[in-house]
Amino acid sequence: MTEMTEAYGWQGRTLIGSDGEKIGKVSEIYVDDGTGRPEWATVHTGLFGTKSHFVPLADATLDQHGLAVPFDKSRVKDAPRVE
């Protein structure tokens, strides 16, 4: 289980999809008020990082390349985004 203090270190890291593709940079981390665990992140995507998408963090793992999530790049880019 990831603690919130660890998850704050994920901000600015590269988000990597299950297909091994770079998705973007992690911007914000959102915590579940009831459990205190990180549940969602926003990731900047697009050519200049001008779009932000929500990504669930339930099965995210940190490795030497960045923060890996069990979703491919296209699924994240098709997810709801911040306008």
The burial of 71, by beta-carbon neighbours within 10 Å (0-12 exposed, 13-18 middle, 19 or more buried), is given as: buried
| pLDDT digits 0-9 by tens, 11-46 | 999 999 999 999 999 999 999 989 888 999 999 987
The pLDDT, as a whole number, for residue 26 is 95
Distance between CA atoms of 81 and 43, rounded to whole angstroms?
A: 9
Residue 28 CB neighbour total at 10 angstroms: 14
The pLDDT, as a whole number, for residue 82 is 80
* Size (the chain), residues: 83
Evaluate whether 61 touches 68 at the Cβ level (below 8 Å).
Answer: yes
| pLDDT digits 0-9 by tens, 37-61 | 899 999 998 776 678 999 999 899 9
pTM of structure: 0.83
